Amino acid sequence: MNRFTTIAAVAALAASVAAPALAQQNRLPTEAPAGAQRVVMMCTNDAATRSAFRREHGAPPTFVTADQVLQARATGESWSAPRCMNTREHGRLTQTLNTYASVR
């Protein structure tokens, strides 16, 4: 009985280690190719955020409005670095996109 418990524990450990690796192999790529993105992030306009954004993306943050994002979506415009949006504009964008989704 002791040998069976040891073998079962080793098998369970091996399965728990292998499962995430196997799951990642079967996933479809979710990232768009470089240059074909329209990523918008909620950002604050303080020094720490600007510094962190510049360090992460190599450029200072560019703030956009909900209308500008919708226009970029309609025209197929894309950008290489994410754009920033304040909380109020993000709410407007979310509300507009939810309205579009409910109409469809």
Note the pLDDT of residue 26. 44
The pTM (predicted TM-score) of the whole model is 0.59
H or E stretch covering 47: helix 47-57
Note the pLDDT of residue 96. 92
Report the candidate in 89, 76, 92, 68 with the shortest Cα–Cα distance to residue 37: 76
**pLDDT tens, 51-86?**
999 999 999 999 999 999 999 999 999 888 899 999
- For the chain, the structural domain boundaries read 44-103
* Distance (Å, whole) CA 64 – CA 54: 16
* Distance (Å, whole) CA 53 – CA 87: 17
